[in-house]
Amino acid sequence: MTAACVKRAFKYRFYPSDVQAAELVRTFGCVRKVYNLALAARTQAWQRRERVTYGQTSALLTAWKKTEELAFLNEVSSVPLQQTLRHLQSAFTHFFNQRAHYPRFKSRKTSRRSAEYTTSGFRLSGGRLTLAKMSEPLDLVWSRPLPAGARPSTVTVWQDSAGRWFVSLRCDDPTVTPLAATGQVVGVDVGLDHLLTLSTGEKIANPRHERRDRTRLAKAQRVLAKKARGEGANRARARRRVAKVHARIADRRRDHLHQLTTRLVRENQTLVIEDLTVRSMVRNRNPARAISDAAWAELRSMLEYKAGWYGRDVIAVDRFFPSSKLCSACGRLAASLPLHVRTWTCGCGTTHDRDVNAAKNLLAAGLAASVCGAGVRGPNRSC
């Protein structure tokens, strides 16, 4: 029995013509309108203790198209309109299963401008992608080829806040297969002075991408702050300049994390990390900026899904485990260890680098947790 292919999304940038851009913007607006109308209908039903299904909202969409007020919905492809109803259904499913908050309405200014097409809404032939209701193919920049024989199941088109256009092709990738097993295990401690410290003693520098562009970002934000709020073209241009700086920072950060996580997953069979609550940590204003720039949550997400791709294991140790204060040599727990203390000496005479010691303790705790069951909280917990 062969293993199922991994579903991957291949992202490409493209440059639409004026006609294509206008058509896509109109589609984004219709997608947002249908989503908000369906959400309002379902909310009213929810207040009456009734549930509305996807099929019922699809019937509502058909009725809306027949009205004079919403006749413009017929001008765009029906595929992304149906897809946004499916997305709303998924949002309600997550809400009912207590995995997410109640769905919110989409905003014209702040919500992502996107549209999703299924196989009936696009045509990919000879490296040319044509969307429904468009006569000309999109001018894609094929920065990397699709897997041989790949047939995309969905195509998502969006425009980011910096004004750039992207398309994402989701398809099976048969080239992603488990790597050869290796006995290498490593503990990974995240930080700010060093992005990662491994139990092997290796320290990986923190690039601090946001700090490199902080002056440029501050200047762009000052210019934006002086523009009067409204729909003026000057404010729109100033906002786009700020967005471009943020996009530059995010692109560099994502590229670095991809290279780093791919290397760690390829080299190690098991990776042990700490189960940090980044959302709570950034509520502290002092380190919030640096923590957000380090992107610990994105780092963990990449490690986990790549480990699933390549047959590796990621173990998360309980966040309350005192990895820094615990001596990795004798197991003695230090009374206190302020953040500014980077090296310390245990009563047994062992001098520790704070981060390397934490990585070693995470490795030991993670391997113990894989045998005992759940994560560990303290040094005295046993099987």
Look up 275 and say whether it is catalytic.
no
Residues 195 and 115 in one domain: no
pTM of the shown model: 0.87
- From the candidates 23, 116, 210, 355, give the one annotated as an active-site residue: 355
222, part of any domain: no
Residues 125 and 200 in one domain: no
324, part of any domain: yes
Residues 47 and 156 in one domain: yes
Residues 364 and 324 in one domain: yes
Q: How many alpha carbons lie under 13 Å from residue 341 in its C-beta half-sphere?
A: 12
178, part of any domain: no
Look up 69 and say whether it is catalytic.
no
- From the candidates 274, 313, 318, 353, give the one annotated as an active-site residue: 274
Q: What is the CA radius of gyration of the chain?
A: 25
Taking a C-beta distance cutoff of 8 angstroms, is the pair 130, 140 a contact? Answer: no
Residues 50 and 104 in one domain: yes
Residues 168 and 266 in one domain: no
Residues 17 and 141 in one domain: yes
What is the rounded distance in angstroms from the CA atom of residue 20 to the CA atom of residue 26?
10
pLDDT band at 51 (very low <50, low <70, confident <90, very high): confident
Name, in order, each residue with C-beta under 8 angstroms of 67's C-beta and a sequence gap of 6 or more. Answer: none
Range of the domain at 85: 8-173
378, part of any domain: no
Residues 57 and 83 in one domain: yes
Residues 192 and 132 in one domain: no
Count CB atoms within 10 A of the CB of residue 354: 20
Q: Which of 360, 361, 351, 354 is nearest to 322 (CA)?
A: 361
Name, in order, each residue with C-beta under 8 angstroms of 204's C-beta and a sequence gap of 6 or more. Answer: 194, 195, 196, 197, 198, 260
48, part of any domain: yes
Residues 91 and 197 in one domain: no
Look up 189 and say whether it is catalytic.
yes
The whole-angstrom distance between residue 324's C-alpha and the CA centroid of its chain comes to 29
Q: Which of 363, 308, 358 is nearest to 334 (CA)?
A: 358
| Helices marked H in the chain | 18-47, 54-65, 78-96, 209-212, 214-225, 233-267, 278-281, 285-294, 296-310, 354-372
Mean pLDDT on 31-36: 97
Per-residue pLDDT, 152: 94
Q: How many alpha carbons lie under 13 Å from residue 72 in its C-beta half-sphere?
A: 10
366, part of any domain: yes
Taking CA 64 as the corner, what is the angle to CA 63 and CA 70, rounded to the nearest 5 degrees? 150
Task: Write phi, then psi, for 14 (nearest 5 degrees).
Answer: -145, 165
Q: Which of 8, 16, 17, 310 is nearest to 145 (CA)?
A: 8
Question: What's the pLDDT tens digit per position in 34-46?
Answer: 999 999 999 999 8
- From the candidates 189, 202, 267, 304, give the one annotated as an active-site residue: 189
179, part of any domain: no
* Domains contained in the chain, number: 2
The whole-angstrom distance between residue 201's C-alpha and the CA centroid of its chain comes to 29
Question: What's the pLDDT tens digit per position in 350-360?
Answer: 888 888 988 99
Question: What's the pLDDT tens digit per position in 107-158?
Answer: 998 899 999 999 999 999 988 999 999 989 999 999 999 988 889 999 999 9
